[in-house]
Amino acid sequence: MRRSIDDHPFSSTDYPPGFEEADLTPISWAVAISDDYDDALPRVILTVEEVGSAGRGLVAHLGPDIARRLRAALADGLAEMGEEPGR
């Protein structure tokens, strides 16, 4: 089983003005779920790719504990910025 959950193609509005001069790499990301492993346990797949380098990105295969840890870290980052962490 493999199923796409969400993805975000890069938009220049994602970054602050002048991001090119600040050497910020434009990236796109995707989240999926898969159980295509020897142990058949489902994992969350997080793919991060530099724009223009499709197929050469970094792919993380996250078990439930690590996926929850990442979710908590993102929520904490939003709270530090004064934003609601959402769902």
Question: b or e along 4-18 (b: 16 or more beta carbons within 10 Å of the residue's beta carbon)?
Answer: eeeeeebeeeeeeee
Could you report the per-residue pLDDT of 19-30, keeping only the tens digit for each?
777 778 889 999
pLDDT (0 to 100) of residue 11? 87
Q: By CB neighbour count within 10 A (0-12 exposed, 13-18 middle, 19+ buried), where does 22 fall?
A: exposed
| 36 Cβ contact list (under 8 Å, min separation 6) | 1, 2
Average pLDDT rounded to a whole number, residues 77-83: 96
Per-residue model confidence (pLDDT) at position 5: 96
- The pTM for the full model equals 0.84
CB 44 within 8 A of CB 28: no
Q: Which sequence spans correspond to the domains of the chain?
A: 2-80
Average pLDDT in the 38-52 region? Answer: 94
**Sorting pLDDT into bands at 50, 70 and 90, what band is 12?**
confident
> Regarding beta strands 27-34 and 2-8, do their DSSP bridges make them parallel or antiparallel, or are they unpaired?
antiparallel
